Amino acid sequence: MGKALVIDDSRTIRMILSNTLAELGYQVSQASNGKEALSAVEREDDGFALFLVDWNMPEMNGLEFVKCLRANPRYSTVPLMMVTTETELSQMTTALEAGANEYVMKPFTKEIITDKLRLLGLLQ
């Protein structure tokens, strides 16, 4: 399936998402904020095939990360899903306009994540 990067300041959420993606066949890396995630992106020679990103994080939030990632031609079209507590329609719109492909509100289930990955064409 490729490599996925889970970015969330909650260790518990990172573990839940990482376990879900690993069960689906992804090799999963984790970062606790956007700055760590950008460092991981720079270090990863083979590139990532998927990003799951929280919005509210210290150092660099998820929206800032999405904008930085999308400015990199290598990652301008890699599937990216926001997984966040932000429930306002305006925030969903902002994230999608910045380059997120899907938006999941916490709390979520494994089935919701799987369904969104299907919508992105990453699962059958």
Query: What are the angstrom distances between the C-alpha of 111 and each of 17, 68, 124?
Result: 11, 29, 13
Instruction: Kindly indicate the confidence band of residue 45, based on its pLDDT and cuts at 50, 70 and 90.
Output: confident
Is position 124 within any domain?
A: no
> Model confidence at 124, in pLDDT bands (50, 70, 90)?
confident
Rounded Cα distance, 108 and 100, in Å: 17
Cβ partners under 8 Å of residue 59, min gap 6? 33, 34, 35, 36
Q: Which of 71, 76, 95, 69 is nearest to 84 (CA)?
A: 95
Percent of the chain clearing pLDDT 90 (strictly above): 96
Domain span including residue 39? 3-119
Structural domain total, the chain: 1
pLDDT, averaged across the chain: 96
- One-letter amino acid of 65: F
The alpha carbon dihedral of 41, 43, 48, 51 has a sign of negative
pTM above threshold 0.75:
yes
The confidence band for 32, taking pLDDT boundaries of 50, 70 and 90, is very high
47 within domain boundaries: yes
Domain containing 50 — which CATH number?
A: 3.40.50.2300
